[in-house]
Structure 1
Amino acid sequence: MIERRIEKELRNLIDSGPAVALLGPRQVGKTTLAIEVGESRPSVYLDLESEADRAKLTEPELYLSQHADKLVILDEVHRLPNLFQTLRGLIDRNRRAGRRTGQFLLLGSASIDLLKQSGETLAGRISYLEMQPIDGLEVASKDLEQLWLRGGFPDSFLAADDRSSLRWRQDFIRTYLERDIPQLGPRIPAETLRRFWTMLAHHQSGLHNAAELARSLGVDGKTVASYLDLLVDLLLVRRLEPWHANIGKRLVKSPKVYVRDSGIVHALLGIGASEQLLGHPITGASWEGFVIETLIAASPSGTSAHFYRSAAGAEIDLLLTLPGKALWAIEIKRSLTPKVEKGFYLACDQVQPQRRILIYPGQDVFPLKHDISAMSLAAAAMLLRDQE
C-alpha cells in the first residue's frame, strides 16, 4: 500500500465543506483512497457503475436523505448527471439543519460531465481535487527509474515484473478506447483515437501542430482539436501553455503537448523494458514529461505551469509561477554530465526568475554558473513541496 500525499488534503476538504469532487483517470486509486477515508467515519459507498447501486437511487432524494448523518461516497458520479440537482437541495437542507461539512464525496474519471453539471448546480458548495498517478515524492529515490518506465498507475507500478506491467497498461488503453470513452458520450472510432494518442506519444514534449496531425489522420484541424480536448478533459494529456509577458520579444504561441503518464507513453510505443527505453529516440522527451508531471504534482496549490520559448531560441522547459508570484525556471536533462544550453541563459536573462534549477538523473546537488543549481528530481520536488 503506497501512502498517497493527497489523502491529507482530501480529509481537510471533506472536513471544511459539504461536498468534494475527487477527479482523476480510471485506475489511479480514487476508490481505494475514498474507501479508506470512509472507514474513518460513518459513511456509505455507492458505485454508480453497478446496476444494484444505481437502483438504490431510483428515488435519490428519499435514499440519500436516509443517510444525511453519513459521508455519502458516489463513485463514477458522471453516470448519473441528473443527480446534481438533488444533491444541491440535500446540501442546502443539511446546512439549515446545522450539518455544514462532510456530506458528499464524488468520484469522477473525467472532468467533462462532472464539471459541466456541478458547475451549474453546486457552485459554492463543492471543492475540486485532482488525483494524479503515483508521483516521485510517493516512492523511494531508488524506485524513480521504475516509476518512469512503468508510470504511476498503481497496478502498473506494483506489477510483478515489467512484462506484466506493460500488459496491464495495454489493457488499460484498450479499455479506455473501447468502453470508457464511448460511455462518456463522444462517438469516435477507437482505432482513430488510438492512432491520435500514439502520435502524441511520438511527439511527446513537442509543440502542438494541429495541421500536421490532421493530415496524418485524414481529418480536419477542428476534429484534431476536439480529440485533443477530449484527452485533456480525461486527464490523460497535458497541454502546457507558453508563458507570455510584455518583454519585447517574439514568443512561441503554440502549446506543448504531453501524454501525462510516462508508462502510457511507453505502452503506446511498445516499450516494455529499461534497455528498450534507454535506447529509444523518445528517451529525452519521455524523461522531460515525467519530470514535469512530478514537479507540477509537488508544487504548492495555486502554482501555474508554463514553458517559455522565443523565436530567437531562448527556451525554458518548465516555468513555474508559485502562489507568491515567484518564478522558478527549470531546465531538464537526461545526462549525468549535464550542460546548460545557451537558450536557457538567454531566457533567464529575459524572464528574470527567482530560482534557476537544472534537473538531471544523478543524486548530487551542485552549483553552476549564473546562479543555476543542478539537482536530482527528488531534491527539486521536495524543495517545491516545502514552499507550501
Structure 2
Amino acid sequence: MLLGPRQIGKTTLAVNLGEELNGMYRDLERPRDLDQVRDIELFQAQYPERLLILDEVQRAPEIFAPLRGVIDRRRRDGQRSGQFLFLGSASLKLLGQTSESLAGRVAYAELSGINALELASAAAQDLNPLWVRGGYPDSLTARSEAISLKWRLDLIRTYLERDVPQFGFRVPAETLRRFWTMLAHHQGGLFNASSLGEGLGLSGQTVSRYLDILVDLLLVRRLEPWYANIGKRLVKSPKVYIRDSGLLHALLAIEDADSLLSHPVIGASWEGFVVENLLSCLSASLWQPYFYRTQAGAEIDLVLVKAGKPEVAIEVKRASAPKAQRGFHQACDDLGITHRYIVYPGDEAYRLSTSDIWVTPLTTLMSTLRDRRGLSFG
C-alpha cells in the first residue's frame, strides 16, 4: 500500500508501474470504478494475472475483509504475491480497518513530495524553488510563482471543503483553516493545545483533535520528544511542523523567495524543510525521528533513533558559517551521540575545528543517509 497526501504523485507513479507490469487501474472516487470492486473476490477472479491498482482505497473499506481470503487462497495455490497495489491519502490510523484486516499480508510505504536529491541540480542555490514552492509536483513545476501559489491555495481549500468531510470529520472549514494557519505561524514550535485554543475560542481537547486530523491526513508532522532517564527535566510536548514547505508558505501568504527572506518564519521554515527532506531518505522501519530538549536549554533539532538507541544528532542552521551552541554539545553528551551534524545552506561539508561536528549541505547528508554509508565525511 502506497500512502501519501493528495496530489503528491501516487497516481502518476502507480499508472506508470501499471504500464510496465500489465496493471489495471481503478479510481475508487469514480462511482463506476467503485461499483466494480465492491465484490473484490469477483473482480480479482476476472483478472487473476494482472496487477490490480486501486486508488483512494479508503473509499471502500468493506473490501478488505474478503480480500484477506483472496490473498490467503492465492498463497496456498502458490501464486505470486504482489497482485494488488493500493493507494491511500491518509495515515494507517485512518485506514485502521485495512491494517487490521490485512495484517501480515500487506507492506506499507509512504510517498513524500519531490525532495532535494530528486532535483536535476542539487546545489544549495538551486534549492530555493523547492523550498519556496514545496514538493508537490504541480506546484513545483508551475509556470510562475503566482500560479504555483494559487495551486496550493486551491489544494488547501479542497482539503478543507471536501476531503476532511469525506473522512467523516465534522469540523467547520473556516475554523480548521484558522487552526492550520496558526500552526504555520508557530512552525516548529512546541504544541500547546490550551494556548492555541484560547486564540480560537476552543477547548484544548478540541484543538488536539484538530491536530490529529491534520496529522492523519499526512499534512502535519508531530515530532515527539526523546525521553531519556538521565536525571534531567525534559521537555515533553511535541513539536509541530507543516510538512510541505509550499503549503506552509501558502498559509502565510508568502508568494516568492523575496517574501520568504523577509518573513519572521524563515528560520522555522528552513528547519521544517530540512527535517522533511532528511526523513524522506530514511527507512521508517529502521529509523525513528525525535527531538530532544531539556528545561535547562540543551537541545537537538532532530534525533535519529535506531533499535531504541539515539544514533544521529542534527542541528539545522540558516547561516553561512554556523557554529554549534553549547546546548547542542550538552544534549549530544547527554544521549551519548557521536554522529553530530549541522545542516546549513552552503555547498561544502567541513568539520568544525576542535570539534567532532560536521557542517554539511542538506543534500550531502541526505545522500549519506539514503546510501547507508558510514555516518561521516572524512
Q: Compute the TM-score of the two structures, normalised by the length of structure 2.
A: 0.94
Q: Is the 8 A contact 1:214 1:221 kept in 2?
A: yes
CA change 1:33–1:122 in 2 (3 A) is: same
Instruction: After superposition, give the CA deviation of every residue in 1:271-306 in whole Å (9 maximum; x if it has no partner).
Output: 011000000000000000000011111124411111
Question: Hey, what does 1:33 align to over in structure 2?
Answer: 13
Question: Hey, what does 1:116 align to over in structure 2?
Answer: 96
2:172 corresponds, among 174, 177, 189, to 189
By how many angstroms is 1:186 displaced?
0.3
Work out the CA distance in 1 between the residues paired with 2:282 and 2:2: 18
- AA aligned opposite 2:5: P
**3-state SS of the aligned residue for 1:107?**
strand
1:90 matched to 2:95: no
- AA aligned opposite 2:70: L
- AA aligned opposite 1:333: K
Listed as ranges, the gaps of 5+ residues in structure 1 are 1-20
Listed as ranges, the gaps of 5+ residues in structure 2 are 374-378
Question: Hey, what does 2:246 align to over in structure 1?
Answer: 263
Question: Hey, what does 2:196 align to over in structure 1?
Answer: 213
By how many angstroms is 1:366 displaced?
1.4
2:296 corresponds, among 303, 306, 312, to 312
1:231 corresponds, among 196, 214, 219, to 214
Work out the CA distance in 2 between the residues paired with 1:48 and 1:114: 17
By how many angstroms is 1:324 displaced?
8.8
**3-state SS of the aligned residue for 1:316?**
strand
CA change 1:347–1:265 in 2 (3 A) is: same
Work out the CA distance in 1 between the residues paired with 2:93 and 2:276: 24
Work out the CA distance in 1 between the residues paired with 2:203 and 2:310: 40
By how many angstroms is 1:114 displaced?
5.5
- AA aligned opposite 2:334: Q
Identical columns (%): 56
1:49 corresponds, among 29, 35, 38, to 29
Which one is further off, 109-118 or 288-297? Answer: 109-118
Work out the CA distance in 2 between the residues paired with 1:201 and 1:264: 9
Which one is further off, 255-264 or 114-123? Answer: 114-123
Superposition map of 1:1-388 within 5 A: 21-111=1-91, 115-139=95-119, 140-142=121-123, 143-301=126-284, 302-322=286-306, 325=309, 327-368=311-352, 369-387=354-372
- AA aligned opposite 2:335: V
Work out the CA distance in 1 between the residues paired with 2:264 and 2:67: 50
Q: Is the 8 A contact 1:300 1:384 kept in 2?
A: no
- AA aligned opposite 2:297: G
Work out the CA distance in 1 between the residues paired with 2:78 and 2:321: 61
Question: Hey, what does 1:11 align to over in structure 2?
Answer: none
By how many angstroms is 1:68 displaced?
1.7
Work out the CA distance in 2 between the residues paired with 1:200 and 1:277: 17
By how many angstroms is 1:112 displaced?
5.4
- AA aligned opposite 2:342: L
By how many angstroms is 1:383 displaced?
1.2
By how many angstroms is 1:65 displaced?
1.4
**3-state SS of the aligned residue for 2:197?**
helix
Work out the CA distance in 2 between the residues paired with 1:99 and 1:82: 24
Work out the CA distance in 1 between the residues paired with 2:78 and 2:214: 41
Work out the CA distance in 2 between the residues paired with 1:226 and 1:112: 17
Work out the CA distance in 2 between the residues paired with 1:137 and 1:322: 23
By how many angstroms is 1:135 displaced?
1.2
Q: Is the 8 A contact 1:367 1:374 kept in 2?
A: yes
Q: Compute the TM-score of the two structures, normalised by the length of structure 1.
A: 0.92
Work out the CA distance in 2 between the residues paired with 1:326 and 1:342: 19
**3-state SS of the aligned residue for 1:82?**
helix
Work out the CA distance in 1 between the residues paired with 2:204 and 2:251: 23
Q: Is the 8 A contact 2:38 2:62 kept in 1?
A: no
Work out the CA distance in 1 between the residues paired with 2:289 and 2:16: 31
Instruction: After superposition, give the CA deviation of every residue in 1:180-226 in whole Å (9 maximum; x if it has no partner).
Output: 11111101000000001000000000000110011111111111111
Work out the CA distance in 2 between the residues paired with 1:102 and 1:67: 14
Q: Is the 8 A contact 2:179 2:200 kept in 1?
A: yes
CA RMSD of aligned residues (A): 1.4
Work out the CA distance in 2 between the residues paired with 1:34 and 1:126: 16
Which one is further off, 160-169 or 49-58? Answer: 49-58
